[in-house]
Amino acid sequence: MYSKVVETTNFLKETTEYRPKVAIVLGSGLGNLVDFIDEKMEIDYSDIPNFPVSTVAGHDGKLVFGKIGGIEVVAMKGRFHFYEGYEMKEVTYPMYVMKQFGIEKLIVSNAAGGSNKTYDPGTLMLITDHINAFGTNPLIGKNDDRFGPRFPDMTEAYKIYLRDLAKEVADNLGIAYKEGVYLGTTGPTYETGAEVRAFTGMGADAIGMSTVPEVTIANYLGIDVLGISCITNMATGIAEKAHSHEDVVDVAKKAGENFCNWVINIVKKIG
């Protein structure tokens, strides 16, 4: 895998002159953030050697390089999910490439169901920690010490200094946010009511089908992570109607204005 990662990274270095240190992963319906990236240079995933392709609505499948407030960034407009049938190593492949490319900080976002009854649809939630309920781990297999250690520490999976900075930015802009624990499952089914009750008992405030694999690998590689969930629906049993991905994308788009404003100003501070 190491040589594949080097090949992909070399391709990107030959294709763009940008050398960002900040990367952003855009969740379902949150892709509009790229509209705020200046001097854009886009590369389709299908043109990148060894890259998987996005198969989910609301995930375009592009790497977008450019600048936010003069700070170089790269955004993933579209991510890969385990439920798409990808291996965990494929789901997390972009993280390995990001590290090799020189990324030091990652802002990861997602659409999620609110299991905390006080987190209404449209709420932006700063992720304080996560629970891996995928039943597997993206690091299972032989370890390659060139990437990271066999037993990575997850004490501060979502860096406190980045969370503090995000809170300061939100407070200055008057953006409302909550804080909470994200629980990641494989999907693609939304949860049963019983599962949501169980996950809530475990400490989950929001539930989704992504993020945990990427953040696990980012920590392994030594990339500092900030995570933001957009609560798009109340989780099963709390919600008054059945879920649909169309609604998820729709609500995420509506929350997009605050989300974009927040992330843009975070980038300006951390870049």
Ligand X SMILES: O=P(O)(O)O[C@H]1O[C@H](CO)[C@@H](O)[C@H]1O
Active site residues: 28, 59, 81, 83-84, 111, 209-210, 233, 245
**Quick one: how far is CA 78 from the chain centroid?**
10
- Residue 104, Cβ neighbours under 10 Å: how many? 14
* Stretch touching ligand GUN by CB under 6 A, among 11-19, 63-71, 120-128, 229-237: 229-237
Rounded CA separation 96/243 (Å): 33
Tell me, residue by residue from 191 to 210, as one string, x for binding to ligand X by CB under 6 A and - for no binding: -----------------xxx
Q: Does 263 bind ligand X (CB under 6 A)?
A: no
Rounded CA separation 39/60 (Å): 19
Question: Binders of ligand X among 6-45, rule CB under 6 A?
Answer: 27-28
Phi, psi angles (nearest 5°) of residue 250: -60, -50
Q: Which residue is nearest to ligand GUN (CB)?
A: 113
Find the binder of ligand GUN among 30, 209, 223, 270 (CB under 6 A).
209
Q: How far is the CB of 191 from ligand X (least distance, A)?
A: 11
Q: Are 162 and 111 in contact (CB under 8 A)?
A: no
Find the binder of ligand X among 5, 248, 267, 270 (CB under 6 A).
248
Ordered alpha helix ranges (H), the chain:
2-15, 88-91, 93-101, 160-173, 193-202, 212-221, 245-270
Q: Which residue is nearest to ligand X (CB)?
A: 27
Rounded CA separation 184/211 (Å): 7
Quick one: tokens of 158? 């979502």
Q: Does 233 bind ligand GUN (CB under 6 A)?
A: yes
Q: Which does 159 bind (CB under 5 to 8 A by kind): ligand GUN, ligand X, none?
A: none
Q: Does 187 bind ligand GUN (CB under 6 A)?
A: yes
Q: Are strands 62-68 and 71-77 parallel, antiparallel or unpaired?
A: antiparallel
Task: Report the residue number, 22 or 248, with the smaller CB distance to ligand X.
Answer: 248
Q: Which does 81 bind (CB under 5 to 8 A by kind): ligand X, ligand GUN, none?
A: ligand X
Rounded CA separation 12/4 (Å): 12
Judged by the rule CB under 6 A, the positions of this chain that interact with ligand X are 27-28, 56, 79, 81, 110-111, 187, 208-210, 245, 248
